[in-house]
Amino acid sequence: MTRTSTVAHDRPPPALRALWLAALAILTALLLAGCATLGLSDPLRVSVVGVEPLAGQGLELRFNVKLRVQNPNDASVDYDGVAIDLSVNGQSLASGVSDQRGTVPRYGETVISVPMTVSAFAALRQALGLSQSAELTELPYSVSGKLAGGLFGTVRFSHSGILKLPQ
């Protein structure tokens, strides 16, 4: 009695097949992400248009920042969440998040309110940095953040400038 063995007809093992499918899914996602970012040719313009104090906890400072977001593109930007960071004099000062959702219309603008927090340590670090500058007439700042838009629709923004202080 002779035994015959059956040979799989050039099929990869299940683990290798799963790896290939995962790689294909990741590649497809990256290609779609690249296509999604092609819709916006110009960056969003973001400016701070208001700051209002909020009640804080303990040693933290809290305030509500109003951002005017302008969209100079032909496609609207839908967002479902906002995150921003504020740096002053090259050091992080405050951060904030909001679960707001909305739309920045094509060739339009909207105002978004984001509560921000300044920790006591960040405020102390800024105060020490400012006290070491003998002649402080200009204070550089930057605001950066993102409008979350799902897996591929997140739009990042940044704005920087210089505050001229009275002498």
User: pLDDT digits over 106-162, tens only?
Assistant: 999 999 999 988 887 777 777 776 666 656 677 788 888 999 986 667 888 887 888
Position 106 scores a pLDDT of 93
pLDDT at 40: 58
Contact 122, 94 (CB under 8 A): yes
Phi-psi region of 35 (alpha: psi -120 to 50; beta: other; left: phi over 0): alpha
| pTM as predicted | 0.66
Say which residue the tokens 């290798």 belong to.
16
* Residue ranges covered by each domain of the chain: 41-164
Q: Which CATH class is domain 41-164?
A: mainly beta
**Percentage of the chain with pLDDT > 90?**
20
36-58 tens-digit pLDDT? 444 557 888 888 888 888 888 87
Split at pLDDT 50, 70, 90, the class of 88 is confident
Q: Which residue has the tokens 């400072």?
A: 61
DSSP the chain: ---------SPPPHHHHHHHHHHHHHHHHHHHHHHHHTT--SPPEEEEEEEEEE---TT-EEEEEEEEEEE-SSS-EEEEEEEEEEEETTEEEEEEEEEEEEEE-TTEEEEEEEEEEE-HHHHHHHHHHHHT-SS--EEEEEEEEEE--TTT--EEEEEEEEEEPP-
Mean pLDDT of 62-87: 90
pLDDT band at 21 (very low <50, low <70, confident <90, very high): low
Give the pLDDT mean for 87-96: 84
